[in-house]
Amino acid sequence: MALSNDPNWWRQATIYQIYPRSFADSNGDGLGDLKGVTSRVDYLASLSIDGVWLSPFYPSELADGGYDVADYRNVDPKLGTLADFDEMLAALHDRGIRVFVDIVPNHSSDQHEWFQAALAAAPGSPERDRYIFRDGKGENGELPPSDWPSHFGPSSWTRVTEADGKPGQWYLHLFAPEQPDWNWDNEEVREDFLTTLRFWADRGVDGFRVDVAHALTKDMSEPLPSIKSFDIERQGYQSLRTLFDRDEVHEIYKTWRKVFNEYNPPRVAVAEAWTITERRPLYASPDELGQAFNFDLLGAPWKSKKFKEIIDFNLQLSAQSGSSSTWVLSNHDVVRHASRYGLPKGTNFEHWIITDGEMPRLDVQRGIARAKAATMLLLALPGSTYIYQGEELGLHEVADLPGQVLQDPIWLRDGMTRKGRDGCRVPLPWTRTGSSFGFGSNGAHLPQPEWFGIFSVEAEDGVSGSTLELYRAALKLRRSLQTTETLTWVDSPKKTIHFVREGGWHCFTNFGKKPVAVPAGDVLLSSVPISEGMLPGNASVWLKA
Ligand code: GLC
């Protein structure tokens, strides 16, 4: 299927996120790889998705699942080669599937050539200026320059040993110590990222997912403020803006946009920007990244009122920026939504995982029912939808991974009090049985539980009523039903929501427990069977009227 040159192809696209290390392993080393992705392109095509987004596959020590990039313009030898990448891209393009790669501009890996050069160079050198180095406080510089914690644990500063063997300066890392932050005031850094964008765009990459897009520029003027001044509860959002969401970051994205527009069709991007919602349109504007993730439904409880409010608000926001919204329920950073929806109201998910999924108990079926209903709702909304690998199988979180297998820096750096995100990154089950359920020929880098077999592609393929077949049917239908980027709400009973898109495509979702009457129209698809005109609780239906 030839790809069109339509510059707006992304506006209502469905993008499937691949976490490459956990998708498919072609060489039996337990780690997913690019050839693994290539071997599954027919499966991806069977989903009727418009694109895939690959989480980082670049050379990395895996201090943070690949978000510690040692070389932005290469493939990790554990995952393949650039030739494998080209082959994968061609195979995906052949099937009409576009490709997004992940750009990680806030920090590199400490193994990056430029960070190694910075360590070898003297304080004040041009090499050090590419990162954020500072002298320590205290009589001998033995205290960190500020008391800022890192995202994953105690401090965001690490002290280095200078060439003379003595303890020296400190460098900033908002994430793990293996992820030193770039200095975006440095021209070379800015230029190098433009080179990286062109490198992938020249190879045919269609889009970029931009990691922690709101953090690049920082106010590092002295004296550095104390963490106490970052108290969002007491001081308000502005207090965070020493480190995040600064206006200067938008100058950077304007230069990126110029690069995107050198191509036909222009390359596209989506920002991962954890800002207050009102500032999201800045990142999503057409002269910057073009789209920004809307994670509001991902954090929302299963409540009709809440869903409706979020949908309305985000449609307004995206119209404001000239963008289209992005709908997301899961990704590689959060507890899988089938589990979130199957746990009692108000569950603290971190607590649930640290009890190995024992407390509180998960209602597996209710979780899947709601997840299916939510997916149908999302896919009927104007805008684009991001799907995370495995959700099309109804996969639940693996909450009982033992401490010794955990890879997430959150676990090790936060005193083993939080297990982190490995439970949603367990390699996919392709077959009911066999070595690593068909993921590879020789085990998986994170252990898969026994129950994975019943959620495998093999177990669900062609089975009516399975989550996989519902995704396939909904994604295919959506393509033919998709229209203008607007919706109209229709009055509906309590605990339900109902909207119609232009052309008479209705979506009706029952968030309650009790069955409700299906609205008038021809049923196109439903997340559970409808009997005697009644839609069961936790279900969605699409109608044409
Ligand atoms: C983003 C990624 C996450 C990573 C972090 C640091 O939030 O999604 O996985 O740990 O950035 O790069």
365-420: per-residue pLDDT in tens? 999 999 999 999 999 999 999 999 999 999 999 999 999 999 999 998 888 999 99
Of 333-347, 405-419, 476-490, which range is least confident?
Answer: 405-419
Index of the ligand 1 atom closest to the CA of residue 332: 9
Q: Ligand 1 atom closest to Cα of 152? A: 10
pLDDT at 114: 98
Nearest alpha carbon, ligand 1 atom 4: 67
Q: How confident is the model at residue 431 (pLDDT cuts 50, 70, 90)?
A: very high
| 394 phi/psi in degrees, rounded to 5 | 75, 25
Query: Ligand 1 centre from 74 Cα, in Å?
Result: 19
The token duo for 36 is: 């693994």
Per this entry, what is the length of the chain? 545
Residue 117 has a pLDDT of 98
CA atoms within 13 A on the CB side of 102: 26
Ligand 1 center to residue 305 CA distance, Å?
A: 30
Ligand 1 center to residue 68 CA distance, Å? 9
What is the C-alpha to C-alpha distance for residues 326 and 318, in angstroms, rounded to an integer?
9
Residues near ligand 1 (Cβ within 6 A): 64-65, 67, 104, 175, 211-212, 272, 332-333
Closest CA to 545 of 518, 523, 516, 517: 523
Give residue 212 CA to ligand 1 midpoint distance, Å.
Answer: 7
**Cα(270) to centroid of ligand 1, in Å?**
14
Rounded mean pLDDT, 475-480: 97
Q: Which atom of ligand 1 is nearest to the CA of 175?
A: 6
Per-residue model confidence as pLDDT tens digits over 149-173 = 898 878 999 999 998 999 999 999 9
Of all protein residues, whose CA lies closest to atom 3 belonging to ligand 1?
Answer: 333
Nearest atom in ligand 1 to the alpha carbon of residue 333 is 9
pLDDT at residue number 414: 81
pLDDT at 1 > cutoff 90: no
**Which stretch of 59-68, 177-186, 241-250 has the lowest confidence by average pLDDT?**
241-250
As a whole number, the mean pLDDT across the chain is 96
What pLDDT is attached to residue 366? Answer: 98
Mutation probe of ligand 1 site: the residue of 55, 64, 295 with most atoms within 8 A of C-beta? 64
User: For residue 242, is pLDDT > 90?
Assistant: no
Kindly list the catalytic residues.
Answer: 211, 262
Percentage of the chain exceeding pLDDT 70: 98
Sequence-distant (6+) residues with CB within 8 A of 489 are: 308, 497, 498, 499
Q: Which ligand 1 atom sits nearest the alpha carbon of residue 68?
A: 12
- For atom 6 of ligand 1, the residue with the nearest CA is 67
Helix (H, G, I), strand (E, B) or coil at 366: helix
Average pLDDT for residues 67-78, to the nearest whole number? Answer: 98
Q: How far is the CA of 141 from the centre of ligand 1 (A)?
A: 30
Q: Where does the pLDDT of residue 10 fall: very low under 50, low under 70, confident under 90, or very high at 90 and above?
A: very high
pLDDT at 115: 98
Q: How far is CA 155 from the centre of its chain?
A: 25
Distance 133 CA to ligand 1 centre (A): 22
- How far apart CA 181 and CA 114 sit, in angstroms, is 12
Residue 481 C-alpha to ligand 1 middle, in angstroms? 34
pLDDT given at position 169: 98
pLDDT, position 240: 72
Residue 232's pLDDT is what?
A: 57
In a mutational test of the pocket of ligand 1, which residue from 67, 243, 330 has the highest number of ligand atoms less than 8 Å from its CB?
67
Nearest CA to ligand 1 atom 2: 211
Region 323-331: what's the mean pLDDT? 97
Please state the atom number of ligand 1 nearest to the C-alpha of residue 274.
7
CA of 514 to the centre of ligand 1 (A): 40
pLDDT at position 231, please?
63
Identify the burial level of 192 via C-beta atoms within 10 angstroms of its C-beta, where 0-12 means exposed, 13-18 middle and 19 or more buried. middle
pLDDT at residue 233 above 90? no
pLDDT at position 227: 84
Q: How far is the CA of 154 from the centre of ligand 1 (A)?
A: 17
- Cis geometry, peptide bond prior to residue 180 (ω within 30 degrees of 0): no
Distance between CA atoms of 349 and 360, rounded to whole angstroms? 10
Name the nearest CA neighbour of 447 among 510, 400, 381.
400
**Nearest residue by C-alpha to atom 7 in ligand 1:** 212
Strand partners, 326: 384
Residue 384's contacts (CB-CB under 8 Å, 6 or more residues apart) are 10, 11, 12, 13, 14, 15, 291, 324, 325, 326, 327
Q: Which of 18, 333, 413 to mutate to test the pocket of ligand 1 (most atoms within 8 A of CB)?
A: 333
Which atom, in ligand 1's list, is nearest to the CA of 421?
9
Q: Give, using CA atoms, the residue closest to atom 12 of ligand 1.
A: 67
Q: Which two tokens stand for residue 115?
A: 């960070």
Q: Which atom of ligand 1 is nearest to the CA of 409?
A: 10
